[in-house]
Structure 1
Amino acid sequence: MTTNILDNIDPRTLGELLEQARKKCGMTQADAAKVIDVSRTTMVAIEKGERRIKSTELTQLARAYGRSVSDFVRPRPIVEPFEVQFRAVYQRSEEEEAEIKPFILQLEELCQNYLELEKIMDAPLPQNYPLEYKVTNMPIKAAAESIAVAERQRLGLGDGPIPRLRDILEQDVGLRIFYLKMPQKYSEVYSYNEQLGGCMAINALHPEDRRRWSMAHGYLHFLAHRRKPEFHFDELDKQYQRVPESEQLAETFSRYFLMPTSGLLKRFHDMCRTHSEFKFTPTNLFTLAHYYGVSVQALVRRLEEMELLRSGTWNKLKDRGLKVRTVQKELGLEEIPQRPDIMPLHYQRLAIEALDRGLITEGRFADFFNVDRLEARCIAEKLREKLPEDSSAMLQETIDFDLRQMQE
């Protein structure tokens, strides 16, 4: 690395990147100062951009922070640290902090990579965001159903199931959705800022019906509590004597959004009519849950709420020893359609296009997917086969093409 490279970099920008990297690995300014054998005040000056860092110092700090030098010297958008947003909203114990922080940082890193790819390809993620819905002083059920109906109409979803929920939220709305492997108790992470828009991490280890529920849950926070970050986990209700209204709204919205009243009512009656005694059997229940892409429990609760099943039906089924996954296999129900990729589709397209056009190196492509170069080559080949050739060509053609100049 030559001194000229550092001379051409804004020291304030470089200092900010160094500060973020230091904080992410839990080092103090005094710790960092010892790494490069300077005083803490000198380290402060480096991070403020008041003192240019030497190439040897940058190499030492990058190694100490577990980063490559290229992370600091290549042009890269700087994003507001997600951890700052979460710290302002949630009070956590040291144990909770240690467990949660890695996933917040991982989501931040992936979103920053996404933004970098957009800038490299000059192809920003199209955003089709509605205005934030106002729900203050509104009854929870009425507000949830109103928002669910409005969003279904806005996105042209009718009143049937939503089989491609992730694709719709990513491509039709413009959210950044990543699937990350998290502890079982965690469902979803949501964050928003003006630079990135809405960002979500969904637990990749959960079954698809639960991931879909988590996406719908996070989508409500985007729609109604846009600037409030959220880390959703199973024990959330145990932390409060009363579950916050924002969480009640998100759960209720998920029911109405994934299982709209009009469509569900019609489907329920159609199934009952297939029996001479007009009944709704356990087989019907499992088939209907699969049709809507929700858990059997979620469907039963919804049908109880609509007074189509008696209150307490789910508890009685559990008492009888119902084994949901076993019954699903016995009925031969196929897996719910899903795309369990870690990265969003647009992210993948931008990355392979940038690689094939020589705009990024194979090493940088590997970094974007957080894998080694050997695995990166396999991913690249799979993407070239998986993504339609015409969509790749279309992306390349439309980057600089002016539609106003199109000839008949």
Structure 2
Amino acid sequence: MEAIELGKRLRDARELCGINQDNAAAAIGAPRTAISLIESGQRSVSTLELSKLAGLYGRSPVAFFEETSQYETVRLLLRRTVDNHMGASEKEGIMTSLDLWEEGARLEAILGNSTRPAVPTYSFGVPRSKGEAVRQGEATAEDERRRLGIGFGTIADVADIIANQSIWTSASDLPNETSGLFVAHRDVGLAILVNARHARGRRRFSYAHEYAHALLDRERSIDLSRAQNRDDPIEVRANAFAASFLMPKGGISAILRQIDKGGPSRLQGELFSSASDDAVPVEVRPVPGTQRLTYQDAAYIAHHFGVSYPAAVFRLQNLSHITQKEAASLLAQSNTGNSYLHTLGLLDDINGEDGQNANRRELKLQLTRLAIEAYRREEISRGRVMEIARKLDLSGDTLLRLAEAARVPQG
């Protein structure tokens, strides 16, 4: 392989990971100019340097020499991936989203990629078992919540959080057995698309699931999440991440304490006695049956965290708050749980549909911000602003007026 092509692939991998040249240079113990020369094909890269850079970028050194999908156009890759799984209208919706991702990537290039933060990479490798996949997914979710500073609280808008992490975020109609797809490619960067046909709570879970792929599986180029793949360790890990990210262990425990449920059948401990100056054994037994979780509790938890009723039940089981038998019983009462929420006027919060206007809400916000900033810097023309507005189904005159307003001197 020619040095120019290898350098280009190394640069693409570095930029996809959000790593700057200074950090890459530090990894191989060389000045920043060495990375610049390597990426432009003007300096050879040693086997040791390639190994270190590959590790930094979460890849195998061999991957840079293969005829892999990463070096085909994203449009060709996407068509090949969805051709056998989608109908004509579904493909059209995906390609419309791709047009917007490409438009966003072009605007970012014009602005020097300086307007968005870099999304982190968590490198675990492919899990060897489902158990390991669950542990990796949950650990990543905890780390990511900590990084984002959201603690154990409820995530009000998961799509908004993802969109603010340098990821194009949108929804489009997909087959029912497909929850979403993730794209990591030099042509567009990182992008997530979820099934707009699914209910609101399920879409939230899908956004979190695809976000896991963005954090953990960037080398896969395109990942289509389908029901048929649910036993794949990579998909298991993404599901574990989504459950823990949306319903953190500490948050579940706090809710159970709040409703005084899910505790042990007896509590044993010791209290200090002032009379005898030592400990007195104490046993507290709740009233029999009061700690048992019911469909009402599962529905309450589902609504609190904005997920589907089954997702809440499975999370309670995975955290050992209920047994497998109790989970099966609660799942059999899914309709009752949803009826309970419907009676309270709450079911639409998790089972409702957002409508077409919400499908590209984040993308519209991302692209209009970039377009207005590019126009403010006089990097794009009035005609380009009008064209971007057309792609976003916005009023061209309105977007142009907003862009003009950004040029008005302040103060």
TM-score (norm 2): 0.62
Query: Residue 303 and residue 318 in structure 1: after superposition, are their counterparts in 2 closer, same or farther (change >3 A)?
Result: closer
Are the aligned partners of 1:181 and 1:205 in contact in 2 as well (CA < 8 Å)? yes
Asked whether 1:213 is paired with 2:205, we answer yes
Aligned to 1:164: 157
Which of 317, 321, 335 is the aligned partner of 1:304? 317
Q: Distance in 1 between matches of 2:143 and 2:127?
A: 19
Cα deviation for residue 253 of structure 1 reads 1.2
Q: Residues 178 and 342 of structure 1 are in contact (CA less than 8 Å); yes or no, is this contact kept in structure 2?
A: yes
Instruction: Classify the secondary structure of the residue corresponding to 1:200.
Output: strand
State the one-letter code of the partner of 1:360: R
1:34-67 deviation line (CA, Å, top 9, x unaligned): xxxxxxxxxxxxxxxxxxxxxxxxxxxxxxxxxx
Answer yes or no: is 1:347 the counterpart of 2:360.
Answer: no
Q: CA RMSD in A?
A: 3.9
CA distance in 1, matches of 2:316, 2:117: 34
Structure 2 counterpart of 1:115: 105
1:127 partner SS: coil
Task: Answer yes or no: is 1:200 the counterpart of 2:192.
Answer: yes
Partner of 2:349: 335
Q: Bigger CA drift: 211-220 or 269-278?
A: 269-278
Letter aligned with residue 161 of structure 1 = T
Question: In 1, Cα distance between the equivalents of 2:224 and 2:171?
Answer: 14
Map 1:13-52 onto structure 2 (within 5 A): none
Structure 2 unmatched ranges of 5 or more: 1-70, 263-285
The one-letter code sitting in structure 2 at the alignment partner of 1:299 is A
Letter in 2 for 1:340: A
Name which of structure 1's ranges 214-223 and 344-353 shifts more when overlaid on structure 2: 344-353
Q: Is the 8 A contact 1:107 1:178 kept in 2?
A: yes
Contact kept? 1:81, 1:108, Cα under 8 Å: no
Tell me how far 1:83 sits from its aligned partner: 4.3
**Cα distance, 1:269 vs. partner?**
2.3
Structure 1 segment 147-296 matched on structure 2, within 5 A: 147-171=140-164, 173-228=165-220, 229-237=222-230, 243-272=231-260, 277-296=290-309
For residue 134 of structure 1, report the CA deviation from its aligned partner.
1.9
Post-superposition offset of 1:160? 1.8
CA contact (8 A) 2:261 2:291 kept: yes
Q: Could you tell me how far 1:214 is from its partner in structure 2?
A: 0.7
Q: Distance in 1 between matches of 2:150 and 2:404?
A: 27
Does the Cα contact within 8 Å between 1:353 and 1:392 map onto a contact in 2?
A: no
Q: Which amino acid aligns with 1:251?
A: N
TM-score, normalised to structure 1's length? 0.62
Q: Distance in 1 between the 2:181 and 2:115 partners?
A: 20
- Residue 96 of structure 1: which of 61, 85, 99 is its match? 85
Q: 1:359 maps to what in 2? A: 381
CA contact (8 A) 2:386 2:397 kept: no
The percentage of aligned residue pairs carrying the same residue is 23
Q: Is the 8 A contact 1:83 1:101 kept in 2?
A: no
SS in 2 for 1:160: coil
Closer/same/farther in 2, CA of residues 236 and 123 from structure 1, 3 Å limit = closer
8 Å contact kept, 1:111–1:199: yes
Q: Where does residue 120 of structure 2 map in the other structure?
A: 130
Instruction: Give the letter aligned to residue 345 of structure 2.
Output: G
Secondary structure, counterpart of 2:219 in structure 1: coil
C-alpha spacing 1:110/1:121, structure 2 compared with 1 (3 Å): same
Compared with structure 1, are the counterparts of its residues 134 and 244 closer, same or farther at alpha carbon in structure 2 (3 Å cutoff)?
A: same
Relative to structure 1, the CA distance from residue 141 to residue 159 in structure 2 (aligned partners, 3 Å threshold; closer, same or farther) is same
Q: CA deviation at 1:231?
A: 1.2
Q: Structure 1: how far apart are the matches of 2:211 and 2:118?
A: 13
Report how far residue 210 of structure 1 moved.
0.9
Q: CA deviation at 1:170?
A: 0.8
Structure-1 separation of matches of 2:336 and 2:372: 43
Letter in 1 for 2:322: L
Please name the residue that 1:146 is paired with: 139
Q: In structure 2, what residue type is equivalent to 1:96?
A: H
Contact 2:202-2:308 within 8 A present in 1 as well: yes
**Aligned partners of 1:331 and 1:392: how far apart in 2?**
47
Partners in 1 of 2:98 and 2:397 — Cα distance?
Answer: 23
- Count of aligned pairs between the two proteins: 301
Q: Which residue of 1 aligns with 2:36?
A: none
Structure 1 stretches lacking a partner, 5+ long? 1-78, 238-242, 402-406
User: Which residue is equivalent to 2:391?
Assistant: 368
Q: CA deviation at 1:233?
A: 2.2
Q: Give 1:103 deviation, angstroms.
A: 4.8
Q: Deviations over 1:269-310 (max 9, x none)?
A: 221269973443432221211111111101101111112122
Whole-Å Cα distance in 2 between the matches of residues 254 and 183 of structure 1?
21
User: Structure 1 125/149 Cα, relative in aligned 2: closer, same or farther at 3 Å?
Assistant: same
